[in-house]
Chains A and B, each alone.
Chain A
């Protein structure tokens, strides 16, 4: 039985249980498959024999890379082929859960339209197969010709791989790379910095709270880690111990599962938080210290209940009840994310929502909010390289860069996901895409470099700090790579070498191991090194090599010190010593609708069936009914019953959504759960290719977004709040009818036959 193979259910192995850290052993046994040193071959060889048994199931531990959560999984392999993905019960983030997108990684791996060989655009203008050497030479030549005009875009989550891309950009002389990530991550970090004094992703101890107010955070829909939060939600609501209130314009999956859903007007989330603060301050339950901390951040008087109710479009009595229940709760918690952070006032709204935790005494308390921390392996691999920048910088950087510019895109599809990027992309000189599929960017790239999918690659990731504790998770490849696909980290290193700026490691795995080795050496040299590992762990290893081996064998490292209290921001952090308030969403004007035209607020959302679009090429997910609209295959627009009646729209009609300069036509689903005045459209449709299951299916809602709308304070794209016109075009042709599963969303009273007590299943 080899390193990351296991007999299911074996207890995890732990090494060094003392002090601050321990070696993290996931799924129990060692991760040795990737070992390449000669003296370890004796371990690898028996594994080859055991897995060669025809028809035998071998379960291998791996890490899901479908989003940045870092869920640990077990993969059943038979005859070296992956058959099934299941959540690892001891998973650090997911504790056994895995979402629909995670399951579908098998169809990404075995997709019939994978890119499995390097390609280069030839004289005919078509992409033609070339050798890796030729492809790398073409890419390196372009980079070397204009290093300062080279822009690297990486879709890797924060962690070692992103650090490597930062290092690559630095050594070839390119500006810092663009980190292709959801905009709300940047906003969330800034809101936390303003509120708590530390730019971090907050960690919410939902499982131990007894009352959770989520302002915009769609945590059951895939936000940050659906598997983690689903488990936490189950603990929160077990035996109806705790309550969830969701404040969000859209009836998301999270809102659908909330005990109360408050459908506020889009963009009013920050105002809502300030109004709620006013009620809490007036409730007599807020201590003097908490009041002072809050009022330092927001010195202005909060809006009153009437103003809040009017601005947010919510009945005042519901807001009052919420405030009263929050004030009476023993362990209340306020979360913020999603649509609350995606608007132009996202930072202000985020800070106003997080600051409610100050009033409730929830900062650093059991069932409260903590600072999400990481080990900093991204910075360790990046060395002195500058930090990555947000996607909004990409368009600015390419604007007018000219034909000598070079765009290196790894695991990202800016041409599909970035509003208004088409023109800048057209003007780019050479585009090099590292992709497993012909997504919109790779389809028009000059050089396409095939990369391995999750299960084919060595993985070293720092998971989303949803648990508040740092971790570095490591896993060996589960199956052999298809065709000539390579690890994106290995490609980055090969690019650096081809460009004459070779880095000291032959591959990504060696880079990670070298980083671990440095940690060992630094800790040995300086026990006070706060960023390194504790003496207790180091003492267990004779040398750096042994430490690295133990760590990779065990599946990584995890912090065990528990959640860390987020520091509360001091008034002096702004430099001049004078107390400074935060931007107050209550003093910001309401978003104005265009005069004379009836318009709707567009709400782009991620359905569990496709995520940010990544899942659009998998037949399992295309044929999966959306949890609320029940639509399979393709895109749709969600419109409220009230609006539909007024506009004469019926489910299935083709409607036209018109933005600033672009329009899209798609079928409509009329739902009683949509807030009037809003229209929701899932992202992830309208690919030019992306494989046979996604090709030409649905529409790309991103084209309606306005590239000039930015989140104040951070410059990220503001996705929420775009106004569009909705008009009925016609009844659909047969081929245009939305594919609705069964009878769609039905009213509970329409169930034809009543439910009856269970008879215990006795026949």
Chain B
């Protein structure tokens, strides 16, 4: 059985945010405008956390892309009164938009704060709507949404493999954020396949889980921790 997962090498992430815009373009994520953004209602499915270390002038900044961790034991799922969010057989923490009634319990229970709520219907003034991805639904007001690991790309990858009468190969499916990354800091694939790129990254001694103490069993792996060492003479 497949378990879709992602690995992000923080030592390669520059915080350029190309992935954030790529995600918005791929997934029809609405922009809410200055006033709503000021109220904390921006809708990004993927955000870049940034932290600084040290004190001026010996200061350094670290970046960390944070998205839905597609938890194996997702705190968001059991609190939904209408089962709008559930864990699918391939490890995706999925959303059924038409079932969601907007209680926002799931967002309240997500320790990663990666779920966002449509306080209003999305607006894409014509002809901005010409850009909308036909493979992704535009969510109505009152509905919760979050990263799907670009499930439409997963489906397209499966369809293509099926048409060619073969299995999905590692690297066939690339999420929008992964594809856009100029430093190749993101990899995606099947965590159950020991030969997949994401599995190998996950085995790195630099790998860790975000808020791992919570034992949410995330499908997202982070790598970090190496420092430059001057080569020996």
Give complex CA distance A98, B34 in Å.
26
A432 to chain B, nearest CB (A): 27
Q: Which of B115-132 contact A (CB under 8 A)?
A: 125-132
Partner of A243, one of B5, B21, B31, B228: B228
| Residue of chain B at shortest CB distance from A104 | B21
In the complex, the answer to whether B57 meets A78 with C-beta atoms within 8 Å is no
User: How many residues of A are in contact with the other chain, CB < 8 A?
Assistant: 100
- Give the shortest distance, in Å, between A673 (CB) and chain B (any CB): 5
Determine if B60 and A256 form an interchain contact, defined as CB atoms under 8 angstroms apart.
Answer: yes
- Chain A residues with CB under 8 A of B181: 97
Give the A-B contact count at a CB cut-off of 8 A: 268
- In chain A, what residue has the closest Cβ to B16? A608
CA distance A330 to B233 in the complex (A): 10
Is A363 in the interface zone, CB < 8 Å from B? no
By a CB distance below 8 angstroms, the chain A residues around B44 are 623
Q: Check A741 against B61 for contact (C-beta < 8 Å).
A: no
A200 to chain B, nearest CB (A): 25
Q: Give A309-366 interface residues, CB cut-off 8 Å to B.
A: 314-315, 325, 328, 330
Within 8 A of A (CB), among B42-101: 42, 44, 47-53, 55-57, 59-63, 72-73, 87, 91
Shortest Cβ distance from residue A235 to the other chain B in the assembled complex, whole angstroms: 9
* Nearest CB in chain B to that of A80: its residue: B130
B166 at the interface (CB under 8 A from A): no
Q: Is the CB of B230 within 8 A of A103?
A: no
Q: Is A758's CB under 8 angstroms from B21's CB?
A: no
For B37, list chain A residues within 8 Å (CB): 623, 632-633, 739, 741
B217: CB under 8 A from chain A?
Answer: yes
Q: Which of B16, B32, B51, B226 contacts A623 (CB 8 A)?
A: B32
Q: CB distance A761 to B5 under 8 Å?
A: yes
Asked if residues A632 and B42 are in contact (CB atoms below 8 Å), the reply is yes
Most buried by B among A98, A242, A755: A755
Complex contact B34–A640 (CB within 8 A)? no
Contacts of A227 in B (CB 8 A): 182
Q: Say which residue of B11, B15, B22, B52 sits within 8 Å of A746 (CB atoms).
A: B52
Question: How many Å lie between the Cα of A606 and that of B218 in the bound state?
Answer: 36
Report the minimum CB–CB distance from A368 to chain B (whole Å).
18
Complex CA–CA separation, A548 to B202 (angstroms): 50
B residues adjacent to A (C-beta < 8 A)? 3, 5, 11-12, 14-18, 20-22, 24-26, 31-35, 37-38, 42, 44, 47-53, 55-57, 59-63, 72-73, 87, 91, 111, 125-134, 176, 179-185, 191, 199, 202-203, 207-214, 217-222, 226-231, 233
Q: Write 7 A-B pairs (CB below 8 A) sorted by A numbering.
A: A87-B182, A99-B16, A106-B25, A230-B182, A240-B227, A625-B17, A763-B87
Given contacts A85-B25, A233-B183, 9 further A-B contacts (CB under 8 A): A87-B182, A99-B18, A230-B183, A259-B228, A263-B57, A620-B25, A620-B31, A622-B31, A739-B37
Interface residues of A (CB under 8 A from B): 55, 78, 81-87, 94, 96-100, 102-104, 106-107, 109-112, 210, 220, 226-227, 230-231, 233-234, 237-240, 242-243, 251, 253, 256-259, 261-263, 314-315, 325, 328, 330, 482, 608-609, 619-625, 627-628, 630, 632-634, 640-642, 672-676, 692, 697, 735, 737, 739, 741-742, 745-748, 750-751, 753-763
